[in-house]
Amino acid sequence: MKNPNELQKKYVPDMGQKETEDLRNLIQSDSKKTIADYISRMKKTSPNRPKAMEYFDEIANLFGQRQKELQATKESGKKIVGYFCSFAPIELILAADAIPVRVNSGWYDAAKIGDRVVPVEVCPMVRSTIGAKMVSLSPYLELSDALISVSTCDGMTKLGEIMGDYKQVWTLPLPRVKDSAQSLSYWNKEIRATKENIEKLTGNKIDKKKLRSSIELVHKATKAFRRLQELRKGPPVIMGRDAMLVNQSFMWDDITRWTQKTEVLCDELEKRAQEKIWACPPDTPRVLVTGTPMIWPDNWKLPSLVEEASPQGVIVADELCSSDRILNDPVGVDEWTMDDMLHAISERYLMASTCPCFTSADGNEDRINWLINKVKDWKVNGVIYYVVRGCMLYAMEYSRVKKVLDTINLPVYYLDTEYTREDVGQMKTRVEAFLEMLTARIDF
Amino acid sequence: MAFEFLGEALKLIVLAGLATAGILTILIWKKGQATKVTYIRFIIQAVATIAFFYIFTYPIWMLIMLIVIFVMPILLGRLFCGWMCPFGLYMDLITVARKASKIRHRDLPDRLNKFLHSFRYALLLVFLILPIPLLLLEPPQSLELGIILAEVLGGPFKPMNILVGPVIPLVVPWTSPLVVENVYFSYPYLSDITLYFNGIYASIFIVIFVALTLVGSFAIRRVWCRFCPTGSSLAVVNRFRGFKWAPSVHLDKDEEKCTKCGICKRVCPVQVTEVYEQKGGKIDTSMCLLCLRCVEMCPYEECLKVKIGRKTVFKSRNWLEPSQSD
């Protein structure tokens, strides 16, 4: 492995110190405003918002409490491992006594800085992450000692490479055909290699006991996570945006605390469901969002539009790797041996994933099945297929999803956008038209 | 006579009571935990092993065995193998010992596994056909069906003994060469080995066989079940579509709930791949022992189900779901 001090800048142009700082301060102060704005809007939309959301509002401030905490733990000698894709085995990171944080960027303005390195055709999330790193914007990306990049889509593959200009990056090559035995054994070896890398970085050996307790820790989080999603099956007790924020804050929060707070939230929601206090009228159109991941704070425009529109919609489920897919699948260990635990971890990350980067003998059947299941169980009225420009894989799978959803007579709307605020007005019109159609269908 | 009958009935009632008590204890103790079925299965297996000891004390055990081996699978598939077979219990206990020593199991290559599975039918056929030429050489005195059947199954070649091989309890109610303080010990298939070999050869083969099965089942889960001729599934009603009405026990998969996470494939003690590979609906395989480990471990609610006919008796649940008690 390269010595981090000898990293060469192969991609990124040199930027002046002053320009970097200016840009950072500008985006940072802007972003703080955006965060506050979105949270106040979320409060406004649901006047009787659950009290337990206060914690998540706080943790949603990327430049607040959690940054300080991470800084403090880093100074105490713990390592921080960043990751870009939900394929990164967080159990292994936790078992080595390091802290996993997901470092994808949702800043719109950072994407424009990223344009200096990669062309605009590239996925804006990738451009934005590059831009954020160029001006040292994201506190979690800055604090990471190493990054795990998974070669899922083209953007992610090269993002890992470009990030190599700044940090130690471990790229996990993901086999694209999921249901072959070779893929699994290959991926399993990669997971083992990652385990060794993490051990080398942290200096802590991952043993059976530690790995088991970290798997069980994540199990507890999954339990809370699934409980929250279950609650969204009934009449809306929580607005979709709030739930999405809870889901997403798992990416950077302390896992034990996150689990505890989510359980508190679920307790409150359960009580509300018994008392029949709904977050919005129960006949509000129920929307499912699928497609490109939406990253807090800036790229929150679609959920906001849906839930602030008139007629209003409520997001009851999504199929995003930034929200409902983060913790859905548990690591199922048969025998608590090191070998079996590693097998279980590699299976959980490879096989259970419904990422569109996969293909298989029957096409990406798993994603379709899972979508239909979500649509049926969460009683969805309409699907919004959200794609940002440059997100090839999601865009290409649209026709298939549409065909399948047509057979169960479910409206689906393809919404393409960019990392920009300029098209909000236009998007609003489109979303409202779709929601109006859904309302008409429900009344009919 | 009446008292004897009463005594036997009492014995069976005591056994049934033991089983229920055990299941209830485990249910209360393990509430909301993922491995419930495994524990219940262990109890039933243990009780079944004791029951087989009793069954062998009856003169009509052969008839009971015939029902168990040939009639039961028609509706229950290989439920017997997963839940009652004493040899299965020994192998499961060895698996527990392996787990305690923190060694992971090894898997047979899928192809070999499938070959062994079809090989069992060949074995069964050989054991059932071989007595016929022997019978022709030495025709029976009477042509009654019962006597012919008895000759075929219990005659000089004794295929019946081979078929009941795995059911032999460790302690047997008849005399065997292994005797300690008037208790006769045996092991599956030992009597068959002594039937075909004599003297020193028998001892050598016995030692080899016991060592092989012990080591084999330590490394590979349920190794004997993969080619055991007794385990040939006659689950015709499970295999063919015309029998949809029949109340057979089978696994059923909901295609939409499955993310193909592969847990069912990994946890299966006999490496059945159909549960994972099949798209949905009735799982069509005769390799499955119906031990229900996959249903127990499947993390998606109602994805895998055990059905009797059309009625669901047990289904996979979100095993991470917070139970009300904790």
Per-residue pLDDT reduced to its tens digit, B181-206? 777 778 888 877 777 777 788 888 88
User: What value does the mean pLDDT of chain A take?
Assistant: 91
Cβ contact (<8 Å) for B258 and A227? no
What tokens appear for B303 in the block?
């994805």
Task: Tell me, rounded to whole angstroms, the distance of Cα A327 from its chain centroid.
Answer: 10
H or E element in which residue B164 lies: helix B159-164
A221 → chain B, closest CA residue: B320
Please report the ipTM that was assigned to this predicted complex. 0.85
pLDDT score for B154:
62
HEC assignment per residue over chain A: CCCHHHCCCCCCCCCCHHHHHHHHHHHHHHHHHHHHHHHHHHHHHCCCCCCCHHHHHHHHCCCCHHHHHHHHHHHCCCCEEEECCCCCCHHHHHHCCCEEEECCCCCHHHHHHHCCCCCCCCCHHHHHHHHHHHCCCCHHHHHCCEEEEEECCHHHHHHHHHHCCCCEEEEEECCCECCCHHHHHHHHHHHHHHHHHHHHHHCCCCCHHHHHHHHHHHHHHHHHHHHHHHHCCCCCCCCHHHHHHHHHHCCCCCHHHHHHHHHHHHHHHHHHHHHCCCCCCCCCCEEEEEECCCCCCCCCHHHHHHHHCCCCCEEEEEECCCCCCCCCCCCCCCCCCHHHHHHHHHHHHHCCCCCCCCECCCCCHHHHHHHHHHHHHCCCCEEEEEEECCCHHHHHHHHHHHHHHHHCCCCEEEEEECCCCCCHHHHHHHHHHHHHHHHHHHHC
Intra-chain end-to-end CA distance of chain A, in Å: 63
- Which residue has 């491992």 as its token pair? A81
What tokens appear for A335 in the block?
């025998």
- The DSSP bridge pattern shows strands A80-83 and A314-319 to be unpaired
**Which of the residue ranges A11-20, A406-415, B21-30 has the most confident prediction, judged by mean pLDDT?**
A406-415
B302 touches chain A (CB under 8 A): no
Short-list B16, B4, B5, B8, CA closest to B54 = B8
Task: Tell me, rounded to whole angstroms, the distance of Cα B62 from its chain centroid.
Answer: 17
User: What value does the mean pLDDT of chain B take?
Assistant: 79
A229 touches chain B (CB under 8 A): no
Cβ contact (<8 Å) for A376 and B267? no
Ranges A171-175, A191-195, B189-193: which has the least confidence = B189-193
Tell me, yes or no, if the pTM score tops 0.95: no
Q: Which of B33, B220, B256 to mutate to test the interface with A (most CBs of A within 10 A)?
A: B256
pLDDT score for A179:
79
Taking the CB of residue B86, how many other CB atoms lie within 10 A of it?
21
Ranges A419-423, B29-33, B37-41: which has the least confidence = B29-33
What average pLDDT score do residues B24-39 get?
64
A374 touches chain B (CB under 8 A): no
Taking the CB of residue A387, how many other CB atoms lie within 10 A of it?
20
Rounded Cα distance between A133 and A148, Å, is 15
Cβ contact (<8 Å) for A335 and B105? yes
Bridge partner residues of A149 (DSSP) = A171
Q: Which of B266, B274, B276, B304 to mutate to test the interface with A (most CBs of A within 10 A)?
A: B266
Short-list B118, B60, B49, CA closest to B85 = B49
pLDDT score for B122:
85
Rounded Cα distance between B168 and B161, Å, is 10
B267 touches chain A (CB under 8 A): yes
pLDDT score for B229:
82
Rounded Cα distance between B258 and B280, Å, is 9
Intra-chain end-to-end CA distance of chain B, in Å: 53
pLDDT score for A83:
94
Q: What band does B325 get if pLDDT is binned at 50, 70 and 90?
A: very low
- Going across the sheet that includes B304-308, the strands are B281-282, B249-253, B304-308, B311-315
Q: What band does B260 get if pLDDT is binned at 50, 70 and 90?
A: confident
Q: Residues of B with CB below 8 A from A223's CB?
A: 320-322
Cβ contact (<8 Å) for A222 and B256? no
Q: Residues of A with CB below 8 A from B104's CB?
A: 335, 337-340, 343
Contact B56, B63 (CB under 8 A): no
Question: Which residue has better confidence, A370 or B1?
Answer: A370
Statement: residue B322 has pLDDT above 50: no
Short-list A391, A399, A380, CA closest to A324 = A380
- Which DSSP string corresponds to B252-282? EE-GGG-----HHHHH-TT---HHHHS-SEE
Taking the CB of residue A199, how many other CB atoms lie within 10 A of it?
16
Phi (first) and psi of residue A378, to 5 degrees: -95, 10
What pLDDT digit, counting tens, does each position of B157-181 carry?
666 777 778 888 887 777 776 777 7
Q: Residues of A with CB below 8 A from B32's CB?
A: none
Which of A208, A223, A335 is opposite residue B99, by nearest beta carbon? A335
Statement: residue A191 has pLDDT above 70: yes
Q: What band does B60 get if pLDDT is binned at 50, 70 and 90?
A: confident
Short-list B256, B247, B238, B245, CA closest to B302 = B256
Q: What band does B228 get if pLDDT is binned at 50, 70 and 90?
A: confident
Rounded Cα distance between B227 and A24, Å, is 68
What is the residue type of A27?
I
Cβ contact (<8 Å) for A332 and B299? yes
Short-list A142, A132, A114, CA closest to A30 = A132
Which of B110, B279, B322 is opposite residue A223, by nearest beta carbon? B322
What average pLDDT score do residues A409-425 get?
92
Cβ contact (<8 Å) for B322 and A337? no
For A245-249, the CB contacts below 8 A with 24+ separation are A245/A42, A245/A53, A245/A56, A245/A60, A245/A296, A246/A53, A246/A56, A247/A322, A247/A323, A247/A324, A247/A326, A247/A327, A248/A295, A248/A296, A248/A322, A248/A323, A248/A326, A249/A56, A249/A59, A249/A60, A249/A296
Interface subset of B 71-130, CB within 8 angstroms of A: 99, 102-105, 110
Rounded Cα distance between A224 and B326, Å, is 13
Ranges B95-104, B232-241, B279-288: which has the least confidence = B232-241
Helix axes A53-60, A255-275, angle to 10 degrees: 140
A369 touches chain B (CB under 8 A): yes
Cα dihedral B188, B189, B190, B192, rounded to 10, equals 160
Q: What band does B323 get if pLDDT is binned at 50, 70 and 90?
A: very low
Contact B283, A374 (CB under 8 A): no
Short-list B73, B127, B106, B46, CA closest to B288 = B73
Rounded Cα distance between A324 and A294, Å, is 11
pLDDT score for A359:
86
Question: Which residue has better confidence, B125 or A254?
Answer: A254
What tokens appear for B88 in the block?
């299965």
Statement: residue A443 has pLDDT above 90: no
What average pLDDT score do residues A372-388 get?
93
What average pLDDT score do residues B1-9 get?
69
Cβ contact (<8 Å) for B320 and A347? no
pLDDT score for B236:
61
What average pLDDT score do residues B291-295 get?
88
A377 → chain B, closest CA residue: B257
pLDDT score for B243:
66
What pLDDT digit, counting tens, does each position of A311-344 carry?
899 999 999 999 999 998 999 888 888 999 999 9
Bridge partner residues of B251 (DSSP) = B306
Ranges A97-111, A312-326, B15-29: which has the least confidence = B15-29
Q: Residues of B with CB below 8 A from A343's CB?
A: 104, 266
Q: Residues of B with CB below 8 A from A348's CB?
A: 261
Cβ contact (<8 Å) for A369 and B259? yes
Ranges A268-272, A379-383, B31-35, B73-77: which has the least confidence = B31-35
Taking the CB of residue B324, how many other CB atoms lie within 10 A of it?
7
Rounded Cα distance between B320 and A335, Å, is 17
Cβ contact (<8 Å) for A344 and B103? no
Phi (first) and psi of residue B81, to 5 degrees: -60, -40
Judged by DSSP in three states, B221 sits in coil
What average pLDDT score do residues A41-47 get?
89
Ranges A102-116, A224-238, B115-129: which has the least confidence = B115-129
Statement: residue A33 has pLDDT above 90: yes
Rounded Cα distance between A343 and B262, Å, is 10
